[in-house]
Structure 1
Amino acid sequence: MGNALSKISMIAEAFFAGFYVSITRGLFIPMLAYSGYPVRDISLVLVPTAVGGILVSSIVYRDPRLFESRFKRVIISSHVLERLMWFSLPFLLLSPPILSLAYMLANVSAALTSILIGAAVYSMFSGDEVIEVSIHRSAASSLSSLLGSLVMTYVSAAYTAPSSYYLLYFTALLVGLSGSMLLMMTPIPRSISEPRSSVVEEVKIRSGTALLILSLMFAGSNMLGIAWSPLLKELGAPVYITVALTITGNVGGILGSYVWRGYKAYITAMLLNSLLTAAIPFIAVPTYHIAVSFLTSLTFLGVNLLGMHVFSEVNDRIGRIRASAYLVSSNYIGLLAASLISTFLQSPSQNLILAGSIKMLSTLIALITIQEAAIVPAKRAYEISKIIYSTSLLGYSFTLQASRELLKTFISALALTALLLVLYILYRVALTLIGV
């Protein structure tokens, strides 16, 4: 009974989170694009966020003991803080530097929350239960995301900006905090203990190769997210068409959670997703993009399930927090790569074609390194993954060091900037409430 209650609680948390995420994340890029931000400025807003997410994942991975003794308390605190930070964003549109900082802080807390939620799933369940709960959480999240997308589309069509932004983000805040309250009552372990033994080479290589595959796929996915709204704007599509992409996308997410089973299916989904992404800039009719959104979301679920499957197999060797940190960091590494690349590519079409190419590269690496589905013998796949792991580790270490140096340049002014940010948010909220 207790295990069934834990499953229901974690699935319900994903349902609340899906609604909140669909609005706060789904509206953010269109909100920037239709507020006059070009692709370059959108990319620059995202860069500090990616750096922050990578650093948080790295810190958590290097010293998970920071969170072991107060595991549940940190999850709930980060959960609440994340939702409050995302609520502030529409009030900062007129100040891009402050918006970028707030967006970074929102995503840093989101990264920590995601890592700890993933570790909680690994701690509360084992083996096939992890995959089962993850599939149901993904489906529940996609279902509530669909509801959130419908609300977002209706409000965007019925109200003018920025009033629609304020209303939507406030609604998302209330739903998101409802999930936080549910999490408080969920039987998550108050503390956990991670393994202290060193990780064997085979596990390091498998985890590192999976990190590279996921990072490349997320790089392509984030480039798609950055460029798709500007492309539709170039095609003359109204904002509700852009927002409606998430509706069919979420339907695809619901179905995709149950379509893909096993490593061969995951890689097939990756291949289809790569081809679809590269085809988007050649589709001239805006309404057709809504159908494409369904297919890209349907196939991208294979990527998420591949990552969850790999790390569910190795989490008892590297630790639950570390396994979850691997998964989350891949998204932020992909975001950093996408942001930097998109800064130099002004054309949305160029971004999308390159995004499809990067995803195809990820698929190729998966085809020659994931032993369960490789097109080469398993022994040869391991040898290739070892070579790729050794090479990519150098690049990851360089990226991490660069991220640290970038953070140091901001650290002396961070406290003052954070204080000014809070004051400015309160000022903007006050002006909005009194109608000035």
Structure 2
Amino acid sequence: MRVLAPRFRWILVLEALLAGIYTSLTRGLFVVYLVSVGYAVEGISLVVMASSASSTLLGVFLYRRPTFIMRRSKIKLILFHAFERITWILISLVNHTLFISILYSAYMISSSLISILIAFTIYGSLDEEGIRDVTGKRSAASGVSSVLGYALGALLLALLPADEKFSYIFPLGSLIGLVSTLLISLLDLSHLEEMSIPVGVEQPERIFSTSSFFMIFLASGNFGGIIWTPYVMNRLGGPAFIPALMSLFGSISSITASLFWKARSFTILRVGLLLNALGPLVIWMTPHPALHILINIYTSFTYTAGNFIGSFLFARYKEWFGAVKSSVLLGLIGSIAQLVASPLGMLIGENYLQGFTVMFALKALANLLAFLTIPEVAIVPEEVARTYSRILYSSSLTGYQFAFEVSKETILVTLKLITFSMVIIALYIIYRVLWILMT
């Protein structure tokens, strides 16, 4: 592993510091923006689903063609970093669902690429201890700046005229974000061009178990992000600045959480994962909007533990799975998690009881997978966890192969039926033409 100057790490931390303000003023208030212009849960889910589908397809492409990430990675990182921020200026100029979906999809594609490229930068440049250190510091730095961003966002939401709020907030966030792009341009990433891609995967069952856990866990968080704000504003009657304050104090909680969890063992991190599963129940049982600010402090603190479990596991696996594939897979998992959450929001709509029940079920399933199939986190002996992991992997592989064969046979049968029907129709037409000619 190449030894890099401390300047390299500090640039990454400072980038996260500025990006935190940018994110809190743009994506952090995006659901509030959609609700304020009349979107319900279904409309929000539709916008998120369209963007998630595009970023998921991109992730699949990059996983199959990881060399795209390796070549000229610095130029690509700078270009997409800048373009992502510019999309928010464009979003502030439109209010039609189609245009918002297109622009947000462009944002999500750029955001996915940035996440993958920054993860590749970190995973391809540092060892496991360095990854933990930089990840924790970036998370804390982002949390600190998010506090400022959400405080500013809440102030602007409270003071600006209703029809002009986001015409000022989104461009302001975008301009701050472009300053972080300048920091990225100072990184030396020439060593990433020399990275190699492992030919095979040594322990596919461990990758599968961890990916399944992380995808379901992130999906629970994304789904909560879709339904929680409409619940507070529409069902409980909270004003627009309440969700902004929730995000503000959630960011403060995340700062403490990042510093608290970053050096903890996996056995300690799993306690936070377990406590996070109680969040949906507490949300549903709390009728006063202002109290949800306190709940978000709790859920943000414990959510960080679960998030670190996934990130730190891939930091460990990258030694034999490869920095490129680890980075791309992390990005793909995030996109799939959003894609899973979006249709759930469309199906459930304004049925908040059912929504928080589904959210709790997702978190419970993530806990079950972590505690039984991931050796580093499991509450069962390591060998038992490895056995469960292999069973889960082989069962899923068999199910996939069976579904593929059934789908293939179904398609073939359908095509044969269509062909047969067309032949019958053609014969009937010929018969009718001959009958007309003869008569």
TM-score (structure 1 length as normaliser): 0.87
Percent sequence identity over aligned pairs: 29
Q: Aligned-pair distance for 1:25?
A: 1.2
Distance 1:314 1:371 in 2: 13
Contact kept, 8 Å, 1:44 with 1:343, in 2: the verdict is yes
Structural mapping, 1:76-115, within 5 Å: 76-93=78-95, 95-115=96-116
Larger radius of gyration: 2
Distance 1:67 1:349 in 2: 42
Paired residues, what number? Answer: 398
- Deviation string for 1:24-57 (max 9, x for gaps)? 1111011111211111111111111111121122
Structural mapping, 1:299-338, within 5 Å: 299-338=302-341
Give the unaligned 5+ runs of structure 2.
408-439
Out of 44, 47, 51, the position equivalent to 1:45 is: 47
Contact kept, 8 Å, 2:124 with 2:324, in 1: the verdict is no
- Any runs of at least 4 consecutive aligned residues in structure 1 with deviations exceeding 6 A, and if so which? 394-399
Where does residue 413 of structure 2 map in the other structure? none
My pick for the range that moved more, 177-186 or 120-129, is 120-129
Q: What is the letter of the counterpart of residue 337 of structure 1?
A: V
Q: Is 1:364 the equivalent of 2:368?
A: yes
Contact kept, 8 Å, 2:374 with 2:385, in 1: the verdict is yes
Q: Aligned-pair distance for 1:354?
A: 1.1
- Deviation string for 1:189-231 (max 9, x for gaps)? 36423334323341x2222211111111111111110111111
- Deviation string for 1:113-142 (max 9, x for gaps)? 100001001122112011101100000011
Q: Is 1:118 the equivalent of 2:119?
A: yes
Cα distance, 1:323–1:82 mapped onto 2, change above 3 Å: same
Contact kept, 8 Å, 1:195 with 1:317, in 2: the verdict is no
Where does residue 153 of structure 2 map in the other structure? 152
Q: Aligned-pair distance for 1:374?
A: 1.4
Distance 2:155 2:189 in 1: 36
Structural mapping, 1:54-65, within 5 Å: 54-65=56-67
Q: What is the letter of the counterpart of residue 289 of structure 1?
A: H
Distance 2:306 2:238 in 1: 29
Where does residue 208 of structure 1 map in the other structure? 208
Q: Is 1:219 the equivalent of 2:222?
A: no
Where does residue 162 of structure 2 map in the other structure? 161
Q: What is the letter of the counterpart of residue 228 of structure 2?
A: W
Q: Is 1:298 the equivalent of 2:322?
A: no
Q: Is 1:275 the equivalent of 2:278?
A: yes
Contact kept, 8 Å, 1:280 with 1:289, in 2: the verdict is yes
Q: What is the letter of the counterpart of residue 231 of structure 2?
A: L
Q: What is the letter of the counterpart of residue 47 of structure 1?
A: M
- Deviation string for 1:176-201 (max 9, x for gaps)? 10000111012233642333432334
Contact kept, 8 Å, 1:122 with 1:320, in 2: the verdict is yes
Cα distance, 1:38–1:392 mapped onto 2, change above 3 Å: farther
My pick for the range that moved more, 59-68 or 4-13, is 59-68
- Deviation string for 1:342-401 (max 9, x for gaps)? 1110223321221111111101110001212312221111111122234446788989xx
Cα distance, 1:122–1:44 mapped onto 2, change above 3 Å: same
Contact kept, 8 Å, 1:69 with 1:190, in 2: the verdict is no
Cα distance, 1:206–1:135 mapped onto 2, change above 3 Å: same
Out of 1, 8, 11, the position equivalent to 1:9 is: 11
Contact kept, 8 Å, 2:121 with 2:192, in 1: the verdict is no
- Deviation string for 1:53-111 (max 9, x for gaps)? 21122222211112322111111111111111133223222x10121111111101100
SS at match of 1:91: coil
After superposition, the CA RMSD in angstroms is: 2.0
Q: What is the letter of the counterpart of residue 200 of structure 1?
A: V
Where does residue 427 of structure 1 map in the other structure? none
Distance 1:236 1:27 in 2: 18
Distance 2:393 2:268 in 1: 23
Q: What is the letter of the counterpart of residue 145 of structure 1?
A: S
Q: Is 1:230 the equivalent of 2:233?
A: no
Out of 349, 360, 376, the position equivalent to 2:380 is: 376
Contact kept, 8 Å, 1:60 with 1:321, in 2: the verdict is no
Where does residue 20 of structure 1 map in the other structure? 22
My pick for the range that moved more, 281-290 or 310-319, is 310-319
My pick for the range that moved more, 360-369 or 300-309, is 300-309
Q: Is 1:386 the equivalent of 2:387?
A: no
Q: What is the letter of the counterpart of residue 13 of structure 2?
A: I
Distance 2:49 2:347 in 1: 13
Out of 21, 29, 35, the position equivalent to 2:37 is: 35
SS at match of 1:124: coil
Contact kept, 8 Å, 1:227 with 1:349, in 2: the verdict is no
Distance 2:184 2:399 in 1: 37
SS at match of 1:88: helix
Distance 2:43 2:346 in 1: 8
Cα distance, 1:221–1:244 mapped onto 2, change above 3 Å: same
Distance 1:147 1:275 in 2: 28
Contact kept, 8 Å, 2:89 with 2:171, in 1: the verdict is yes
Distance 2:390 2:4 in 1: 42
TM-score (structure 2 length as normaliser): 0.87
Cα distance, 1:162–1:210 mapped onto 2, change above 3 Å: farther
Q: Is 1:342 the equivalent of 2:352?
A: no
Contact kept, 8 Å, 1:87 with 1:169, in 2: the verdict is yes
Contact kept, 8 Å, 2:276 with 2:302, in 1: the verdict is yes
